[in-house]
Amino acid sequence: MVNLGMEKKPTRAVFLDRDGVILPDKGHLLTVDAMTVTRRVATCLKELREAGYLLIVVTNQSAIGYGWLTFGTLNAIHAKMQKELQRGGAYIDAIYTCPHTAQDGCLCRKPKPGLFKQAIVEYNIDASRSWMIGDRHSDIAAGHNIGAWSLLVQSPDDLEKAVKSILAISDILAAKI
């Protein structure tokens, strides 16, 4: 194929944390058998795809760095996750994993943007038209660090506490407590 100087238009993506967003967060997921995907999640991801978004998982997996999980088992977990999502009509375009612990000081562990930048280049993603969906503040900070919009997934109890604790005011003079 000949490139006639036409650039491919940047696309938009939804970057997704894995645990707590696609999969229930049960701590470190160390076995394939412990992995579950709900039909609700598959339906949601299918709708995002139909809306024109790429679906990119960016996940910190320090269990590898600690030696509790191998890349082979991680790949098997992700293969089962993809299979379960496909049963619901959804699929993930790519999965980017940071295997390091928080103490390693790498550039790929969220909230650092290393894995996001790699995906942005590989998939020609316009971060300003994209979203990050995660269940931790590090996920939201990662979205901010690449210029994407962010959504924080929280349990109903946590969400109620967060909403009660946040009020927006124009300046300190408007604070009438």
pLDDT at residue 144, as a whole number: 94
Q: What is the band of 159 on the pLDDT scale with cuts at 50, 70, 90? A: very low
Top pLDDT among 177 and 145 is at 145
What average pLDDT is seen over the chain? 86
Q: Are 78 and 84 in contact (CB under 8 A)?
A: no
CATH topology of domain 13-174: Rossmann fold (3.40.50)
81-137, pLDDT tens digit by residue? 999 999 999 999 999 999 999 999 999 999 999 999 999 999 999 999 999 999 888
Residue 94: partners with Cβ closer than 8 Å, 6 or more residues away: 54, 56, 57, 119, 122, 123
Phi and psi based region of residue 62 (left: phi greater than 0; alpha: psi -120 to 50; beta: remaining): alpha
Q: Are 54 and 11 in contact (CB under 8 A)?
A: yes
Domain residue ranges in the chain: 13-174
Range 28-58 burial, b when 16+ CB lie within 10 A, else e: ebbeeeebebeeebbebbbebbeeebbbbbb
2-26, pLDDT tens digit by residue? 444 456 788 999 999 999 889 888 8
pLDDT at 176 over 90: no
d(CA 138, CA 21): 14
Top pLDDT among 127 and 156 is at 127
Give the residue carrying structure tokens 């000949």.
Answer: 2
Active site residues: 17, 19
